[in-house]
């Protein structure tokens, strides 16, 4: 039997320092030069770009979305609202559709109902975290992430670097600021190029999954 | 100032995120007694109003919704829908 091998559409120029094979993905936990300190524990200016393309993502569609509770969590009622609980992020896309991100990194037991479609491998997923996130995004999109009519976490379905994305703002609390976004798989390489270029003046560095986990723990 | 359009799901956004879907011509004509000429007129002919008109737009770089807005075609700005004043 041939063993499945899954490849992330995202690649950084940095060398992985620690990796782990998980559910046929090679997941980078830490890159050379990113620093071993947990997020928020270092004195240096921290801005990181992290590949999360391996995290399980689901699309939920139903004419009665209120009756569906992915992993026991209620889908937010308001359009473009998001909800984070126990490492599961749920984003209300429209009246009949929501997206679910399993940020814990572990593959959950998949729901069997026909309302669910797994979308993990059709897209890329990345996170930008750190103090200067919104200075970086300002160079990439015209969206107003600091719109105080919105409360975090919230969803934007909008272009970034001219690519249609789902962008979830999880925090805009100073150094703990961060967004997670997804787009079609084919744009992975070019998105990394554009984001790293925009973030160069802010010291943006590639980081492994551990950095996002420690960031999520601070939220 | 460039065109902004209010998506019913995402709110007010840059007009470049949207694609124009044509004038709103109402429901398609009844197929009983439909002639090629009247179908052709429905499909291809437009009013091209100089002023306020109802139009279809799709939020192609966003949520993908199709919806109608009222736009002033002379000023190229979105205007409040007549329904909003009722």
Query: Does residue A36 register a pLDDT over 80?
Result: no
Query: Does residue A120 register a pLDDT over 80?
Result: yes
Residues of B in contact with A93 (CB under 8 A): 9, 63
Coil, helix or strand for A121? helix
Residues of A in contact with B61 (CB under 8 A): 158-159, 162, 164
Could you say which of B9, B14, B62 has the minimum Cβ distance to residue A164? Answer: B62
Query: Does residue A42 register a pLDDT over 90?
Result: no
Pick from A141, A157, A168 the residue to mutate for testing the B interface (most B CBs within 10 Å). A157
| Residue listed under structure tokens 């990181």 | A48
- Please answer whether residues B79 and B52 qualify as being in contact, where contact means their C-beta atoms are separated by less than 8 angstroms: yes
Closest chain B residue to A98 measured between Cα atoms? Answer: B63
Per the domain annotation, does B9 fall within a domain?
Answer: yes
Query: Does residue A38 register a pLDDT over 70?
Result: no
Residues 18-57 of B with CB under 8 A from A: none
Q: Which CATH number belongs to the domain containing residue B54 in this structure?
A: 3.30.2270.10
pLDDT tens-digit readout, A93-105: 999 999 999 998 7
Average pLDDT over residues A96-120: 89
Supply the pLDDT for residue A112: 86
ipTM: 0.83
Q: Which CATH superfamily is domain A16-55+122-218 in?
A: Probable tRNA modification gtpase trme; domain 1 (3.30.1360.120)
- Cα A147 to Cα A60: distance, rounded to the nearest angstrom: 27
**Which residue segment(s) compose the domain that B42 sits in?**
4-81
- Please answer whether residues A108 and A116 qualify as being in contact, where contact means their C-beta atoms are separated by less than 8 angstroms: no
Per the domain annotation, does B86 fall within a domain?
Answer: no
Closest chain B residue to A162 measured between Cα atoms? Answer: B61
pLDDT tens-digit readout, A159-175: 999 999 999 999 998 88
Average pLDDT over residues B50-60: 95
Per the domain annotation, does B71 fall within a domain?
Answer: yes
Supply the pLDDT for residue A146: 92
Supply the pLDDT for residue B53: 93
Interface touch A159/B61, C-beta < 8 Å: yes
Residues of A in contact with B63 (CB under 8 A): 93-94, 157
Mean pLDDT of chain B: 90
Per the domain annotation, does B10 fall within a domain?
Answer: yes
pLDDT tens-digit readout, B24-54: 998 999 999 999 999 999 999 999 999 999 9
Residues of B in contact with A156 (CB under 8 A): 10
Per the domain annotation, does B68 fall within a domain?
Answer: yes
A-to-B residue pairs, Cβ atoms closer than 8 angstroms = 30
Domain residue ranges of chain A, discontinuous segments joined by +: 16-55+122-218, 57-118
Percent share of chain B, pLDDT over 70: 93
Contacts of A126 (CB under 8 A, 6+ apart): A10, A49, A50, A51, A52, A53, A180, A181, A191, A192, A195
Q: What stretches of B1-51 adopt beta strand conformation (E)?
A: 4-7, 11-14, 19-23
Bridge partners (DSSP) listed for residue A110: none
Interface touch B63/A159, C-beta < 8 Å: no
Residue among A21, A141, A156 at smallest CA distance from A79 = A156
Interface touch B10/A80, C-beta < 8 Å: yes
Residue among A186, A164, A183, A176 at smallest CA distance from A212 = A176
């Amino acid at each position: 039997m041939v063993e499945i091998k899954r490849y992330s559409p995202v690649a950084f120029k940095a060398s992985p320092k620690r990796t782990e094979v998980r559910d046929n993905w090679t997941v980078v936990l830490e890159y050379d030069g990113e620093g071993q300190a947990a997020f928020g524990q270092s004195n240096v200016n921290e801005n990181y770009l992290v590949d999360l393309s391996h995290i399980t993502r689901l699309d939920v569609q139903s004419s009665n979305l209120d009756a569906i509770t992915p992993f026991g969590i209620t889908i937010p009622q308001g359009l473009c609202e998001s909800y984070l609980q126990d490492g599961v992020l749920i984003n209300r896309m429209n009246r009949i559709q929501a997206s679910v991100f399993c940020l814990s990194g572990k593959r959950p037991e998949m729901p069997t109902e026909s309302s669910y479609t797994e979308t993990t491998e059709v897209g890329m997923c990345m996170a930008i975290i750190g103090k200067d996130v919104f200075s970086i995004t300002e160079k990439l999109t015209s969206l107003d992430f600091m719109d105080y009519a919105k409360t975090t976490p919230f969803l934007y379905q909008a272009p970034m670097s001219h690519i249609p994305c789902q962008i979830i703002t999880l925090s805009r609390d100073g150094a703990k600021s961060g967004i997670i976004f997804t787009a079609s798989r084919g744009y992975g390489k070019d998105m990394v190029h554009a984001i790293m270029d925009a973030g160069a003046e802010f010291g943006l560095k590639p980081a492994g999954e551990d950095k996002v986990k420690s960031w999520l723990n601070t939220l | 100032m460039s065109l902004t359009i209010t998506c019913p799901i995402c709110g007010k956004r840059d007009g470049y995120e949207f694609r124009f879907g044509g004038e709103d011509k109402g429901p398609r004509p009844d197929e009983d007694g439909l002639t090629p000429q009247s179908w052709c007129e429905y499909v291809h002919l437009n009013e091209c109003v100089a002023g306020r008109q109802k139009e279809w737009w799709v939020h192609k770089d966003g949520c993908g919704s199709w919806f109608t807005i009222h736009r002033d075609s002379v000023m190229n700005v979105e205007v409040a829908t007549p329904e909003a004043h009722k």
